[in-house]
Structure 1
């Protein structure tokens, strides 16, 4: 699952454009954090916004940063974190319903040269 939704080093605006153009409410992707080295951002669309949750790694494992520094839930891997939150979304998060898979975007881009150019600029 992780490799399908991991977009690497794209910025916040690029992630938002992808989710707005190719996603729907509940679509999500994972990207590198721009502000915290080694952290990731889970971006989830819920119209009219794209919500971003920072995921950090410590010796305890992986966790989504919580509101008011409440005690986070720790996972041994990013895959397990995402799969758990897809099944049981915490109250403070938007549900993770539809992975925005990179492979699907590439197929769509090949059929539309203009879409390919706009995707590649990110």
Structure 2
């Protein structure tokens, strides 16, 4: 599973690669966005429940909103709770930039303003911390 997702990431642009945190849990995500982010900060992680899907997590105080991004023959799309899919995009980068700029307005999602770039966070161990928390 991991290698398939990693392969997808290698074809994505720098924005997606910089905000992709891999297999971290929702609690670790909330701690990261709470500690290092502010309203509009967002990151991308692997879905904990759907293999091959990602979660776009956005801080909008007092919550972290999580949106599942699923891949189909049409490309990547935001998947709503009811299972409905919205507009499809060729890449994750295009999807994120479209919602960030307001071009894609078919969903009422929290505003994406500040990518939480993992290279800017220094030497934190979010990977090990999340594994420890799940045990």
Task: Confirm or deny a common fold (TM above 0.5).
Answer: yes
The 1:13–1:42 alpha-carbon spacing in structure 2 relative to 1, beyond 3 Å, is same
Distance 1:74 1:119 in 2: 30
The 1:71–1:4 alpha-carbon spacing in structure 2 relative to 1, beyond 3 Å, is closer
**Do residues 98 (structure 1) and 106 (structure 2) align?**
no
Kindly report structure 1 stretches of 4+ aligned residues shifted beyond 6 Å. Answer: none
TM-score (norm 2): 0.77
The 1:93–1:61 alpha-carbon spacing in structure 2 relative to 1, beyond 3 Å, is same
Q: Which runs of 5+ in 1 are unaligned?
A: 110-115
Map of 1:113 onto structure 2: none
The 1:5–1:63 alpha-carbon spacing in structure 2 relative to 1, beyond 3 Å, is same
Q: How does 1:1-122 map to 2 (within 5 A)?
A: 1-66=15-80, 68-70=82-84, 72-88=86-102, 90=105, 91-106=107-122, 109=123, 116=124, 121-122=129-130
Q: Which runs of 5+ in 2 are unaligned?
A: 1-14, 131-135
What SS is found at the alignment partner of 1:93? coil
Distance 1:71 1:14 in 2: 27
* Greater CA drift, 58-67 or 20-29: 58-67
Distance 2:101 2:73 in 1: 25
Contact kept? 2:37, 2:116, Cα under 8 Å: yes
The count of residues paired between Structure 1 and Structure 2 equals: 114
Report Cα offsets for 1:78-119 as digits up to 9, x if no partner. Answer: 01001111101635100100000001101xx4xxxxxx4678
